[in-house]
Structure 1
Amino acid sequence: MEPKPEPRMTPKVRTQTESAWKYVFSFFWMILFTAISFWIVLEGTLGTEATFWSITALAAVQVVLQLITFMHLDFGKYRFVAIFMALGIFIAVVSAIGIVLMP
């Protein structure tokens, strides 16, 4: 009785169409978030602070989309890169808050 060979893990082969639609879909969302940001500012219905935080949140989502889609950042494969990027963003946010709150 011969041992059965182990099945090999074969990566999923993407077609060019699937890959292209991924970029188009992500680009659509980024354009939509930019349009929402412009609309928020043009309408002026939100206060200054709410406008700032909503635009900042939309920008953060766009950064993540761009890193994943266009920069090909795979969080499973590049775990240390993602950790150091998150640490850098954290330090930048803490520094920015400190500068804003300084008298």
Structure 2
Amino acid sequence: MADQNTSNTQPPEHKPESKMKHIVSFGAMILLTVAAFVLVLRDVVPVVWVLPLMLGFAVIQVLLQLFTFMHLDQKGSFYYILFIAFGVMVAVISVTGLVFMP
């Protein structure tokens, strides 16, 4: 009877594919970070392409973190995504205004 009570208080087990998803995403983020360092330390690509590639790597890492570790791909996260999108929009407008300010 004691076993029955303890099974109700234990948290549910995570699915194995969820753990694998976290490991694969973390590995991808590490590889993107290493790739960014290699781009800067060695002349792998022309200098003109370094900044756009690094920004692309950063965007991919942000999306991986949002959807893997912050669980924005789960049901009921619409408002979180909406608020993040609004914040990004405000940031882009602010930076654009600062860049083109006389």
Task: Flag structure 1 segments of 5+ consecutive residues without an equivalent.
Answer: 1-13
Change (3 A) 1:76 1:16: closer
Give the alignment's TM-score, normalised by structure 2. 0.72
Match of 1:99 in 2: 98
Cα deviation per residue 1:25-72 (whole Å; 9 max; x = unaligned)? 111110111111111111243225x32221111111101100111111
Query: Alignment length, in residue pairs?
Result: 90
Q: Which amino acid aligns with 1:38?
A: F
Q: Determine the structure 2 residue equivalent to 1:37.
A: 36
Quote the RMSD (CA, aligned, Å). 2.2
One-letter code aligned to 1:47: V
Match of 1:20 in 2: 19
Could you tell me which residue of structure 2 aligns to residue 8 of structure 1?
none
Does 1:65 pair with 2:64? yes
**TM-score when scaled to structure 1?**
0.72
Determine what percentage of the aligned residue pairs are the same residue.
38
CA contact (8 A) 1:75 1:82 kept: no
